[in-house]
Amino acid sequence: MDLRELESALPRVEAWIDGYISAHREVAVPLATRGFSRLGLYFSHSTLQTTQVAYVPKVITPPLEQLGVSGFNDFEHGSYWGITYKDFFFIDSSLRDSESDHFHEAVHIVQWRELGAKKFLFLYAKGLKEDGYWNCVLEVMAYQNQTKFDKGTPIPNFEMELAQVVRHEAERAGLG
């Protein structure tokens, strides 16, 4: 991939994401209504209310190759338990009651909100390309905090600090 290829394909990727979200809007529910007891210790009520969750039999990535973004075959054909697009996330139906997986995706919600679609997609793609899925910065942030959540470690001002780290990483990647 070069970032210019991604940049020219971005409107198509975003259009696919918007269409995918629209197709699930009716079956989605606000995260706040799921009755999880610990998410509110980490995320603000407004974040939990504006985040939409849909449960799907299979979590899918955008069809990047078809949309003109090459070089992401492994990512595109991987299998995932959850994925976040904008203020909306999708979780495999079998994990409907896993608060931990909802926590992970809610971290991505904050990342999307702080970065906006363009910067999120750039930073995610750059990370995948240079560091791979498990080491890309936006996933590391989600997995490391999920581990703390799983252990019950309190993280004061979590959402605010997270937003700051996200902005810092974007600057570090030259996305200012």
Q: Which is nearer to Zn ion, 6 or 106 (CB)?
A: 106
Going by C-alpha positions, the residue among 51, 36, 42, 31 that lies closest to residue 158 is 42
Alpha-carbon distance of 163 to 101, in angstroms, equals 19
Stretch 142-171 residues interacting with Zn ion (CB under 5 A): 142
Q: Which region among 22-30, 31-39, 95-103, 137-145 touches Zn ion (by CB under 5 A)?
A: 137-145
Least spacing, CB of residue 4 vs Zn ion, in Å: 26
Least spacing, CB of residue 95 vs Zn ion, in Å: 13
Least spacing, CB of residue 88 vs Zn ion, in Å: 14
Using the structure block, give the residue that is written with the tokens 């926590």: 103
Q: Which region among 5-13, 22-30, 131-139, 144-152 touches Zn ion (by CB under 5 A)?
A: 131-139
Count of residues in contact with Zn ion, rule CB under 5 A: 2
CA 50 to chain CA centroid, nearest Å: 14
Q: Which is nearer to Zn ion, 125 or 142 (CB)?
A: 142
Going by C-alpha positions, the residue among 26, 21, 90 that lies closest to residue 54 is 90
Q: Which is nearer to Zn ion, 8 or 100 (CB)?
A: 100
Q: Which is nearer to Zn ion, 36 or 104 (CB)?
A: 104
At 111, list the tokens: 């990342």
Q: Which is nearer to Zn ion, 13 or 106 (CB)?
A: 106
Sheet strand arrangement including 29-30: 29-30, 52-56, 88-92, 82-85
Least spacing, CB of residue 106 vs Zn ion, in Å: 10
Least spacing, CB of residue 108 vs Zn ion, in Å: 6
Under the criterion CB under 5 A, does residue 109 sit at the interface with Zn ion?
no
Measure the CA dihedral 74/170/111/141, to 10°: 70
Which residues, other chains included, contact 129 with Cβ-Cβ below 8 Å and sequence gap of 6+?
1, 71, 72
Per CB under 5 A, residues contacting Zn ion are: 139, 142
